[in-house]
Amino acid sequence: MRVGYPQPSAAQLRLGLHGLVAALAVVVWLRAFTGEGGAASTSLLVVLFLVVYAVRSRVTSAVLRLTLLLGLVAVWAGLVFVGADAAYVSLGLFLVFLTELALVPALLAIVTMTACDVAVRLVDGGGAEEFLAPALGAGVSVMFGLGYRVLFDATNSQRTLIEELQRTRAELVESERAAGQAGERQRLAREIHDTVAQGLSSIQLLLHAAEAEAQAQPEQARRRVVLARETAATSLREARRMVAELSPADLADSSLGAALGRVCDRAVPDVRYLCHGDPAQVPMPVEAALVRIAQSALANVEQHAGPGARAVVTLSWSDDRVSLDVVDDGQGFDTSVLESSTPTFGLDTIQSRVADLGGDFTVESEPGRTALAVSFRLPLEVTK
């Protein structure tokens, strides 16, 4: 694991600057006691400087901060005129200029303060070294302040980048959560449509038929009521298993072929079930999908193929594929609805199931014949 250098925060850098400015002001106060006089006035001005600086560090208004900065400059001027060694205070002010003002105004302020300091020394009759000290101090302050400014800007940029990355990460997590919820809702909608909803639809059709035959054909009506009761019991098992593990009840302790046979036995229309080829091992998600697709396709036959429609369900195994075909002799429909915005929940659900598992789906229809076919390549690895 790579260990980097510690990265100071903007707050830490600003706190360090505050400490440096305060320390330089205290140096001016201490040097006043080693000079020729003016200790009292210097002490008063240093205390005033520290108070104004402390107040300024607490305010956020840009106008008020600029006003207080001008006040600090005025206190510095007072220190210069009373003969204090104000160069230390000016060093602190130069650093404040370079970190808080635009570069050009900061440099102009530094040059102006340095020129004033030199002018005062000229009036006091100081020597050449007295003139060089402010200029050298200003130069050192500029170099130090520019380095501090670069570090401060880099820290701010890093903080902004980190905040942006955190915000992007939070948005990505929220997006993934929303996508997961949408996918789960769609999956549950498919399960409910292919189990409970279709079971209830079959029960309704059976009971309607039994009601119509109750007087003329009581025995036939009784058989339909029994079949409706069995369908209700199966739907109840489906609902319970869906809650428990979301797998078809017909597949419990049963092969795919046997499960499809039971689905066809319960169907209201006349259904013939065929199975061709040698069964192969198929992942549970594919078996569940084939059972659900058969249920959904037969429900469509019940609801849309028309009275007396018959269907043939064929499960086929080959060397590299497992296929399911559902063909009926009903009235057919216009397959262009699959490409339009017209809702076809049953067929859309079938398409989604097949697409999720990487299979192939086709449907053909004309008056007197509708054929739906799905197939999956074997061997098939499913990770969902």
* Residue 273, pLDDT score: 93
Is residue 302 within 8 A of residue 267, CB to CB? The reply is: yes
CB within 8 A of 124, min separation 6: which ones? 83, 130
* Residue 316, pLDDT score: 93
> For the whole model, what pTM was predicted?
0.42
Instruction: Judge whether 246 lies within some domain.
Output: no
pLDDT tens, residue by residue, 38-50 = 678 888 888 888 8
Count the helices and strands in the chain (H runs, E runs). Answer: 11, 5
Distance separating alpha carbons of residues 251 and 255, to the nearest angstrom = 6
The pLDDT of 84-111, averaged and rounded, is: 79
* Residue 19, pLDDT score: 82
* Residue 187, pLDDT score: 65
Is residue 384 within 8 A of residue 289, CB to CB? The reply is: no
* Residue 324, pLDDT score: 95
Give me the chain's average pLDDT, please.
Answer: 77
Instruction: Judge whether 241 lies within some domain.
Output: no
Rounded to 5 degrees, φ, ψ at 277 are 90, 175
pLDDT above 50: residue 141 = yes
Rounded to 5 degrees, φ, ψ at 250 are -65, -20
The pLDDT of 119-143, averaged and rounded, is: 66
Q: How many CB atoms lie within 10 A of CB 41?
A: 16
- Across 53-62, 155-164, 330-339, 361-370, the highest mean pLDDT is recorded for 361-370
Judgement on whether residues 48 and 148 belong to the same structural domain of the protein: yes
* Residue 242, pLDDT score: 60
pLDDT tens, residue by residue, 273-327 = 999 988 888 888 888 889 889 988 888 888 888 888 899 999 998 888 899 999 9
Judgement on whether residues 17 and 159 belong to the same structural domain of the protein: yes
Domain that holds residue 53: 10-167
Distance separating alpha carbons of residues 204 and 288, to the nearest angstrom = 25
Is residue 114 within 8 A of residue 91, CB to CB? The reply is: no
DSSP of 91-135: HHHHHHHHHHS-HHHHHHHHHHHHHHHHHHHHHTT--HHHHHHHH
If one counts the domains in the chain, the total is: 2
* Residue 326, pLDDT score: 94
pLDDT above 50: residue 1 = no
Residue 340: CATH number of its domain: 3.30.565.10
Final residue of a domain: which of 135, 167, 199? 167
8 vs 367, which has greater pLDDT?
A: 367
Rounded to 5 degrees, φ, ψ at 130 are -70, -30
Instruction: Judge whether 282 lies within some domain.
Output: yes
pLDDT above 70: residue 245 = no
Final residue of a domain: which of 167, 199, 226? 167
Distance separating alpha carbons of residues 151 and 99, to the nearest angstrom = 10
Judgement on whether residues 278 and 378 belong to the same structural domain of the protein: yes
Distance separating alpha carbons of residues 384 and 376, to the nearest angstrom = 15
* DSSP3 helix / strand / coil % (the chain, rounded to 5): 70, 10, 20
Distance separating alpha carbons of residues 138 and 106, to the nearest angstrom = 12
Distance separating alpha carbons of residues 38 and 44, to the nearest angstrom = 10
The pLDDT of 69-98, averaged and rounded, is: 80
Judgement on whether residues 162 and 26 belong to the same structural domain of the protein: yes
320 vs 176, which has greater pLDDT?
A: 320
